[in-house]
Chain A
Amino acid sequence: MPASMKMYGKHRFPGRLFIVEGIDGSGKSTQVSLLHKWLESEGYVASFSEWNSSPLVREVTKRGKKKKMLTPMTFSLIHATDFADRTEHDIIPPLKAGAVVLADRYIYTAFARDVVRGVHRDWVRGLYGFAVKPTVAFYFRVPLDVAMKRILGGRDAIKYYEAGMDLELSADLEESFRMFQSRIIEEYEKMVEEFGLVVIDATLSIEEQQAEMRRIVTEALTGTKKTRVRRWVDLASLGKASPT
């Protein structure tokens, strides 16, 4: 018999959930990965969950995007399905076990993107009602121009849905991306107060941002157990060390 569904803010788990939000190019992924390494070096069991990564639904999303089959509604629902799978498999069980869970993008990404796509604000908030409320939700605030420079400088070409091309804001990919992302920023800014997002100034140096995150996370970790797990590599090195 499945336990009855708990709604946002009602879950009580011994673990901690830290999530990062921000537009593409805000540097949030770099920061969360640095945080992950630090937590493990401190002896915490930390697992990581990424937006849109459930093996179960990834193929549907990929195909839907490739073939441009997605409407604002199915875009919203398929991402919620992905998120539900990760909540049920990757987020809730480790939190129950008292571990630290990190997530790159969370429900606020959906709230921003879906609302910009014309999905009703309250409906999408209700849709994610089953989500676990994060211990701390970091929002990496960055001016659009700074983020654009970071994105255009490196990595892969901007993709159709990332640029909000389905909204037909502009025929030019880069221009569409700019317009879409600036609307996303507006939505994030509204959510800072609505959901108590912790703002990190993403124009600061990587080191400064990381120090600020670690300070906040350390505070939130009070009472969380460190569970140093000896892996087989550790045991092997011990084995080598002991005879001498």
Chain B
Amino acid sequence: MGRFSFFGEGLPNIDLEELKGKLIVLEGTDGVGRSTHVNLLKQWLENTGHAVLDTGMTRSALAGKRLRAAKEGHTLGGITMSLFYATDFADRLENEMIPALRAGFVVLTDRYIYSLMARSIVRGADPEWIRDVCSFALKPDAVFYLRLKINDLITRVIQTKGFDYWESGMDLHLGQDRYDSFVEYQSRLLAEFDKMVDQEGFEIVDASGSIEEVFDDLKGRIARVLEPEPRPAPQKAKPRTD
């Protein structure tokens, strides 16, 4: 038995036995520091001798460019946006992540199906529907959920890039201005992520500390995921006489 499995029926023509690498996911709301940590972790992993593929939403060769452009126009409906993201994800899963896993890489992904599902549900999609749509995904080895309380998140976003149209959920008309909308939208996303903690087996990582603190925390957790798998018990004990 290979280590990997799909959530549901899965992709056609994939031999799971061939997948050797590790699939590690960083999740969390916007502005929580995911991409910073993906970059730091990548360097650290490469320094310690692991080959790393990093990937993230809207980076697919197939749909990434158009998806980013479509967002500029702000005309995507909720279901359409969910499926466009799913297309982008599938392209990266099949053409980037799976080949890398086959080659024994550590795949480090900035967001996974969980962000896709959370955004979709917040935009009115049927939770069961979007879950089934995403069920062709591989179950990751670990999901680290970088968590910040809404107030800390606001402070951080104000200090960095400000309130982005989509990150404020402006398409949902939740508040009078970007601030109100951001607070409401990100609170709803947080609630969806929090619901997934038990259901999806997220490891919660407190993202309120300094970059160094969070990075150290993540390193410790990832080191445990990368430990060689314990050899089957019979090999430890003296083999019985046959």
Binding site for B on A (CB under 8 A): 1-5, 7, 56-57, 59-60, 63-64, 69-74, 77-78, 80-81, 84-85, 87-89, 117-120, 122-123, 126-127, 129-130
A88 to chain B, nearest CB (A): 3
Query: Are the C-beta atoms of A127 and B62 separated by less than 8 Å?
Result: no
CB within 8 A of A88: which of B70, B80, B87, B126?
Answer: B80
**What are the nearest 4 A-B pairs in CB distance?**
A88-B77, A118-B12, A2-B124, A120-B9
A sample of 8 inter-chain contacts (CB < 8 A) reads A5-B124, A56-B80, A57-B84, A80-B83, A84-B79, A117-B12, A129-B126, A129-B132
Other than the given A57-B66, A127-B83, 19 more pairs (CB < 8 A) read A1-B172, A1-B173, A2-B78, A2-B124, A56-B66, A63-B62, A64-B62, A69-B61, A78-B87, A81-B87, A85-B76, A88-B78, A118-B12, A120-B10, A126-B132, A126-B133, A127-B132, A129-B129, A130-B129
Per the 8 Å Cβ criterion, residues 160-182 of B in contact with A are 172-174
Chain B residues whose C-beta falls within 8 Å of the C-beta of A87 in the assembled complex: 79
Contact flag A4-B126 (CB < 8 Å), given A74-B90, A123-B136, A126-B133: yes
B123 at the interface (CB under 8 A from A): yes
Query: Are the C-beta atoms of B62 and A81 separated by less than 8 Å?
Result: no
A85 to B66: give the CA distance in the assembly, Å: 14
Query: Are the C-beta atoms of A73 and B62 separated by less than 8 Å?
Result: no
Contact flag A7-B126 (CB < 8 Å), given A56-B76, A88-B79, A119-B12: yes
Q: How large is the interface on B (under 10, 10 to 19, 20 to 34, 35 or more residues)?
A: 35 or more
A130 to B94: give the CA distance in the assembly, Å: 25
CB within 8 A of B70: which of A56, A77, A117?
Answer: A56
A117 to B11: give the CA distance in the assembly, Å: 11
Contact flag A7-B77 (CB < 8 Å), given A74-B94, A80-B83, A123-B9: no
The 8 A CB mask of B64-92 against A (1 = contact, 0 = none) is 00100010000111111011101100110
B122 to chain A, nearest CB (A): 9
A46 to B126: give the CA distance in the assembly, Å: 30
Residue of B nearest to A125 (CB): B132
CB within 8 A of B124: which of A4, A7, A64, A71?
Answer: A4
B132 to chain A, nearest CB (A): 4
A126 to B136: give the CA distance in the assembly, Å: 12
Query: Are the C-beta atoms of A118 and B91 separated by less than 8 Å?
Result: no
Chain B residues whose C-beta falls within 8 Å of the C-beta of A4 in the assembled complex: 124, 126
Query: Are the C-beta atoms of A74 and B66 separated by less than 8 Å?
Result: no
A84 to B135: give the CA distance in the assembly, Å: 19
Query: Are the C-beta atoms of A5 and B125 separated by less than 8 Å?
Result: yes
A5 to B123: give the CA distance in the assembly, Å: 9
B23 at the interface (CB under 8 A from A): no
B151 at the interface (CB under 8 A from A): no
CB within 8 A of B129: which of A2, A5, A73, A120?
Answer: A5
Chain B residues whose C-beta falls within 8 Å of the C-beta of A85 in the assembled complex: 76-77, 80
A78 to B66: give the CA distance in the assembly, Å: 12
Contact flag A74-B91 (CB < 8 Å), given A64-B62, A126-B129, A129-B126: yes
A182 to B136: give the CA distance in the assembly, Å: 27
Chain A residues whose C-beta falls within 8 Å of the C-beta of B172 in the assembled complex: 1-2
Query: Are the C-beta atoms of B90 and A81 separated by less than 8 Å?
Result: no
A120 to B12: give the CA distance in the assembly, Å: 8
Query: Are the C-beta atoms of A127 and B133 separated by less than 8 Å?
Result: yes
A73 to B8: give the CA distance in the assembly, Å: 14
Query: Are the C-beta atoms of A71 and B94 separated by less than 8 Å?
Result: yes
Query: Are the C-beta atoms of B9 and A77 separated by less than 8 Å?
Result: no
